[in-house]
Amino acid sequence: MEQTNVPHVMFLPLPAQGHIKPMMKLAELLNQAGSQVTFVNTDHNHDLLMSHTDLTSFHDRSPNFLFRSIPDGLRPGKARSLSNCKELLDTLQAVARPAFRQLLISTSMRPTCIIADGIMSFAAIDVAEELGIPVVTFRTFNASCTWTYFHLSKLVEAGEVPFPDGNLDKSITCIPGYENVLRIRDLPSICRVERADDPVLNFYMRETSTMTRASALILNTFHELEAPVISRLNSIFTKIYTIGPLHALYKSRTKDLMISQSNSSNSVRLWKEDKSCMTWLDSQPLRSVIYVSFGSLVNLTRLQTLEFLHGLVNSGKPFLWVVRPDLIVGESGIDPMELEMVTKERGFIVSWAPQEEVLAHPAVGGFLTHSGWNSTLESITAGVPMICWPQIADQQVNSRCVSEVWKIGFDMKDTCDRSTVEKLVRDLMDSNKREEIMKSTDEFARLANDSVKQGGSSCINLEKLIEDIRSMSP
């Protein structure tokens, strides 16, 4: 492998859009700062990204940026969805490490460092240590959820996982700083298991432990949002870079560098966006629309879809709803076209939306969300309050933080009925409760946007990361 003074950073994300998106933003920022970047996707996601990306404009603004891919172990054509998550994790563990090792030793330019998703530690850290390449771990959760994951083993030891008596409202006692905040129902979805030796639970426990061997931790959050828990994480990682909100930091830096926003990283995507919703939003009154999206993985049953539909219609508020082709599952499902016909009087449906643009639109007054961290952070930055319906991974922790810690929305966790949806939409959009929520929402939006400006905490931390990577170069 060739040695050079130009830093070469290799990225290895977990093969899911919510993990790829923030790591791609950081990869482009480092590339703009002068680093050679190699971004490693699975073959499946590489093909999706290539089919929905304008490669000409991407490479015009991002020279010395390479895409490479490794197998995920699943056969071509097989769905990569929430329903076969365990199978994907199993096959990844079997094939990713040797494939990534081969990629590392065959590259013409030795990586200065590897930035690996914390959940891909099994593939990156052993190999990097063998080859003498530094690793920085990027946990795409927020700091609160990252801290929670570090206490999974203590939750098991304390008998709080698996849930002993089915009381989901029992307070958690063994996560310092969250004793009076998190309940059983607020723990990550991987804790909802029947046995302590559940393979997925134990996989995440191992990955969380393994990632501590990295030299530093990157988090897509900002200091002002989670300062107390970031301080606690310093007991595990002596070096932490909080550089979020990455989507806003990217926009701020590209503006400073006079890079056209039309050529921004929005052109790098796994899903094709339907921008017709922006024209519809233009016709709606100020702060009148509730935006509804459950991300790229969460599914709805027919019954859940009907409950959300009736709740939204009965609220009397116009709504923009992202209905992926694979969103509704199970027998007697609802055809998205049929749903569009039912809602056309008051709502607008698209298969995928340009979410950052939607949340920034003046017509949008609220967000009914699955509470994925990217969506949550984008909503915070845009100053849009939330109704949270979390389902998987970190979403339960995020929704609790939104409702009880930051007080910028409501949590409808473990509930899906039309009366609740109707009430929460009304409360969020035009009740006295909205006035209180908007005080916190506006303040955190200000702090988020200040953090990415020149001299802001996240901007400073990005510069530290850039300099530290340069210092690793021979």
What is the mean pLDDT of the segment spanning 180-198? 93
The pLDDT tens digits for 413-456 are 999 999 999 999 999 998 889 999 999 999 999 999 999 999 99
In the predicted structure, residue 59 carries a pLDDT above the cut 50: yes
In the predicted structure, residue 80 carries a pLDDT above the cut 70: no
| Cα–Cα dist 100/105, whole Å | 9
Contact criterion met (CB below 8 Å) for 245 and 381: yes
The overall average pLDDT reported for the chain is 90
Catalytic site residue 46?
no
Amino acid 49: pLDDT: 80
Cα dihedral 144→92→68→393 (10° resolution): -20
Hey, what are 439's tokens?
Answer: 């005080």
- Find the range with the poorest average confidence among 62-66, 201-205, 359-363: 62-66
Contact criterion met (CB below 8 Å) for 386 and 367: yes
The pLDDT tens digits for 104-126 are 999 888 999 999 999 999 999 99
Cα-based distances in Å from 445 to 4, 180, 408: 41, 26, 10
Catalytic residue among 8, 19, 44, 151: 19
Cα-based distances in Å from 304 to 57, 281, 342, 416: 41, 26, 16, 6
| Cα–Cα dist 183/173, whole Å | 9
Quote the strand ranges of 298-439, DSSP E. Answer: 300-301, 319-322, 328-329, 347-350, 364-369, 386-388, 409-411
- Using alpha carbons, select from 376, 352, 186 the residue that is nearest to residue 276: 352
Sketch out the chain's domains with CATH numbers.
Answer: 8-140+214-268+452-472 (3.40.50.2000), 276-449 (3.40.50.2000)
Contact criterion met (CB below 8 Å) for 177 and 397: no
Q: What's the pTM?
A: 0.92
| Cα–Cα dist 294/187, whole Å | 19
- Find the range with the poorest average confidence among 250-264, 354-368, 419-433: 250-264
Catalytic site residue 19?
yes
What is the mean pLDDT of the segment spanning 128-148? 97
Amino acid 270: pLDDT: 65
Greater pLDDT, 379 or 74: 379
In the predicted structure, residue 318 carries a pLDDT above the cut 70: yes
| Cα–Cα dist 373/350, whole Å | 22
One-letter amino acid identity for 438? M
Q: Can you tell me whether residue 62 is helix, strand or coil?
A: coil
- Using alpha carbons, select from 168, 185, 117 the residue that is nearest to residue 397: 185
In the predicted structure, residue 225 carries a pLDDT above the cut 60: yes
In the predicted structure, residue 401 carries a pLDDT above the cut 60: yes
| Cα–Cα dist 143/461, whole Å | 15
Contact criterion met (CB below 8 Å) for 245 and 220: yes
Hey, what are 10's tokens?
Answer: 């290799």
Hey, what are 289's tokens?
Answer: 């629309």
Catalytic residue among 8, 44, 46, 117: 117
In the predicted structure, residue 264 carries a pLDDT above the cut 60: no
Cα dihedral 180→182→183→186 (10° resolution): 170
